[in-house]
Structure 1
C-alpha cells in the first residue's frame, strides 16, 4: 500500500510539472495574456478539470514555485535553533539562500528560473498574484513571531518590515539576473545589500 501511494504521488508530481512546463512554454512563446487555459490543457494532454485541480488560477501555472515557499519565513522562525533570535534566524536563512542560489532570493540564473522571472516581471497579472502570496506569507510570519513571544501588534508590524525587506532584496536580484547579470557577479552585491538590510532591521534606520 505504501509503495502504491508513493507511485500515485510521483505520478501527480509528474502531471503537475508537465502542465506547468507546457504553460510556461506557451506563455514564453506568445505572451501570458494571449494563451488560454484550454490551450494549455490541450498541449499538456489533460482536461481543464484536471488542470484546475492542480492549479486553481491561470497565474498559478507560473507562480506555483513561489506558492510552495509561501510560509518559508514563518517556517524559519519556528525551526530556529534554541536560543537563536527570530531575526537572526531569518538573516541566516536569507544569506544561505543567496549562497545556494535559491530562486526565492531572486539570485538564480538557471534558464528555467530565468524564464519564470522574466514572465513575472513582464506580466502585471503575475505580479499581482505574486503579491497575494507575499501577503499570505507576511500573515504567516506574523503568527510565527507571535508564537515566539513577540507581543501584538508588534508581531504584525515586525512581519511587515521583514517581508518588505525580503521582497525588496529578492526583487532587486530578480531584476538584475533577468536583465542578464550572472548570479555569480551579482552575489557580492546581493550579500552586501542583505547584510545592510538586516542590520537596519536590527538597529533601526538611523534617521528621524
Structure 2
C-alpha cells in the first residue's frame, strides 16, 4: 500500500460518502416523505454535489432501496453454499436461524430503530412498494436458478424456491407485525427461532427429498 493509503484509503472515503448520502436521504424521507424530497435537497443536506449523489446511486429509488437489495440473493447463496448431504430446506433454515441470532435487519429484528419506519415508508409509497415486490421476485428467481442448475428440473426448482422464499417472507412479516404492535425486538427474537423451526417443518416433508446434495 502506498504511503498516502493508496486505493484502500480512497475506497474507504468513497464508502463513507455513500453512507453519509444514504443516511441523509433516509432522514429526509422519513421526516418529509419520499415524494416530497428531491435529490438536490439530499445533496445539499449531505454537503455534496448532485452529481456526487448520482455517482453512488443511479436513481432516487436507489437512495433508499439500494442497500436493502444487497440481500436479494441471500437465499440463492445459502442454497449454493450448503454442505453435502443437506437439502435446500436445511440451508434456508440455517440461514434464517443465523440471521435471527445476529438480529439481522434483513429478517426484521434489528435494534437500531428506524428499520420499521423505513418498511412503513416503502409500503405507503407506491413506486417503492412495486420495487420491493420486484426485489422479492428476483430473490425467488435466483433461488430457483440455483436449484435448477443443480437438479436440472426447472419446474420443481421453481416450486421449491417459491415455498422457501415464502417462509422467509412470512417470518420477516411476522416480526414486523409484532414489533409494530408494540413488542420489543428482543421479545420477538426470544421465540423467533422456535417459530422458524415450526414454519420450516410445515414445508419440510414435501421438500426434504428434493435437492439433497450427494
TM-score interval for Structure 1 and Structure 2 normalised by the shorter chain: 0.7 to 0.9
Task: Choose from 139, 156, 175 the match for 1:173.
Answer: 175
Q: Secondary structure at the match of 1:34?
A: coil
Query: Residues of 2 paired with 1:119 and 1:150: CA distance?
Result: 40
TM-score of the aligned structures, taking structure 2 as reference length: 0.86
**Deviations 1:113-134, CA, capped at 9 Å, x for gaps:** 3443343344333222211211
Could you tell me whether the CA contact under 8 Å between 2:144 and 2:154 is conserved in 1? no
Query: Residues of 2 paired with 1:115 and 1:77: CA distance?
Result: 31
Q: Which residue of the partner structure matches residue 28 of structure 1?
A: 30
The total of aligned residue pairs comes to 205
**Deviations 1:103-155, CA, capped at 9 Å, x for gaps:** 11112232243443343344333222211211111111111112232612111
Task: Choose from 143, 158, 161 the match for 1:159.
Answer: 161
Task: Choose from 42, 45, 49 the match for 2:44.
Answer: 42
TM-score of the aligned structures, taking structure 1 as reference length: 0.88
Measured after TM superposition, the shift of residue 14 of structure 1 is 0.6
Structure 1: stretches of 5+ with no match in the other structure: none
**Deviations 1:57-92, CA, capped at 9 Å, x for gaps:** 322222223211111111111111222222101101
Higher relative contact order (CA 8 A, sep 6+): 2
Query: Residues of 2 paired with 1:140 and 1:147: CA distance?
Result: 11
Task: Choose from 81, 84, 106 the match for 1:82.
Answer: 84
Query: Structure 1 residue 53 and structure 2 residue 31: aligned?
Result: no
Structure 2: stretches of 5+ with no match in the other structure: 207-214
Q: Which residue of the partner structure matches residue 102 of structure 1?
A: 104
